[in-house]
Amino acid sequence: DAKTTQPPSMDCAEGRAANLPCNHSTISGNEYVYWYRQIHSQGPQYIIHGLKNNETNEMASLIITEDRKSSTLILPHATLRDTAVYYCIGGGTNDMRFGAGTRLTVKP
Amino acid sequence: GAVVSQHPSRVICKSGTSVKIECRSLDFQATTMFWYRQFPKKSLMLMATSNEGSKATYEQGVEKDKFLINHASLTLSTLTVTSAHPEDSSFYICSARDHGQGNYGYTFGSGTRLTVV
């Protein structure tokens, strides 16, 4: 798995877009970028993943830079229920290892 | 979508006793499952990889004789914390990968909060 770096915490106003960055400069060519989130005392929840192209689903959008060294998870209209720790993971071929993540707090 | 069920969600046990935690893939077969532990305000730490029909692979620093893993079927892996001590109190989480879903990563159980008194 690639080493990932994320800011430890971020705040976002309710209804605004939340943009969570992740640096994964050591990611190899065949490793995916995965995003999960964990709400207090629950198991991690899958959000989205991508390899090279930008991806969008009902939860979020994932923007991956052309050199694949970083990505940004976008929650287009953050709600209070999006308050959680967000984990960016590079790899996932053989296992899933977590970094420290970003604690996102959505404020009213 | 893929669902992983973990049981129990909470357990309190006395020091010296053993506790078994079950992890089941409900709608898919998982040849590989993973066990994590998480301390308060910390990230998930991979403990071991559970392989169906063979021995588990433990991460460095994790005692295999203390954390017994059995993966006897394609839908069930168990983690037994033996001779539990208060320092084993933690949040234990399992995950499994549905290979039929391509590269959709791993599905996680809801976790088990173990308290050793």
The C-alpha of A7 sits at a distance from chain B's nearest C-alpha, in angstroms, of 14
Pick from B23, B14, B37: nearest CA to B91: B37
A4 CB-contact burial (10 Å; exposed 0-12 / middle 13-18 / buried 19+): buried
The C-alpha of A91 sits at a distance from chain B's nearest C-alpha, in angstroms, of 9
**Does residue B8 have a cis peptide bond before it, meaning omega lies within 30 degrees of 0?**
yes
**Rg of the Cα trace of chain A?**
13
The answer, for A100 touching chain B at a CB cutoff of 8 Å, is yes
CB contact under 8 A, B105 and A34: yes
- In sequence order, the 6+-apart residues with CB closer than 8 A to the CB of A67 are none
pLDDT at residue A23 tops 90: yes
Residues of A in contact with B111 (CB under 8 A): 41-43
Q: Is B79 in contact with B20 (CB distance < 8 Å)?
A: yes
pLDDT digits (tens, 9 = 90+) for B48-77: 998 888 889 999 999 999 999 999 899 999
Average pLDDT taken over every residue of chain B: 92
pLDDT digits (tens, 9 = 90+) for A34-88: 999 999 889 999 999 999 999 999 999 999 999 999 999 999 999 999 999 999 9
Torsion of CA B58, B59, B61, B67, to 10 degrees: -40
CB contact under 8 A, A41 and B91: yes
Query: Bridge partners of A32?
Result: A91
Strand order in the sheet with B19-25: B4-7, B19-25, B76-81, B67-73
CB contact under 8 A, A98 and B105: no
Q: Could you tell me the two tokens for A84?
A: 């959680």
pLDDT at residue B101 tops 70: no
